[in-house]
Structure 1
């Protein structure tokens, strides 16, 4: 009775059995994937929980807006400032009786590294009234020839 793939003439098989080798490689691959630390770069910001209670005070009319441009500029209420000036402005805003709201709006092509640095400065300053604004401009993705995604 002949085996599939050749005749059984009693000669030794000349091909190497690859199944154990593949099994060992798959186990090593799975172990390697499990042991790799997750590569994440996150800036943890404690955002306040939303509240719909009517006894909240009215929204403060004084708002400061930070905009990051693709050229690497930091704009404080449309005026370019350095990171050192940003720290001073944040400390000055905390000295008011009622802390003004700080709005953060990076433009679409702004540097992620600059955004992470500015967020770290804001977090270190102790600002509590903080919000991301302008996200509605990124609501639909797609190319110029494609229809935008619908939610």
Structure 2
């Protein structure tokens, strides 16, 4: 009898131990779903950058009306703010412009022969000066 009792005791312990080997995955799934929701909500907020609308190939001319602030970059890389040529640092001139501080919108008109780097420097200076909306003035594409 003592032998049966000890054998039953061993069997009872092994059954209890077998239940301890299983992992409860429900809390793990809950944590993963919470993390998924957090990443889905924060992912769109992480994208930053300057919003530039590029002209379409077959669209009409993109012209800013006379009330908008215009930066012109000529073929020889001279920069004009309206009709006045900017001498010195473009960024300083744009930062000190009261109209630009108020409107936070500017249009850039660049000659076709201007190097990409020159236009990019003007765009970077405008962004540093606080411009939130940046437009590019284009001519219509001649379709034959």
Taking structure 1 as the reference length, the TM-score comes to: 0.45
Question: Which structure's residues are more often helix, by fraction?
Answer: 2
Q: Kindly indicate whether structure 1 or structure 2 has the higher relative contact order, using CA contacts under 8 Å at least 6 residues apart.
A: 2
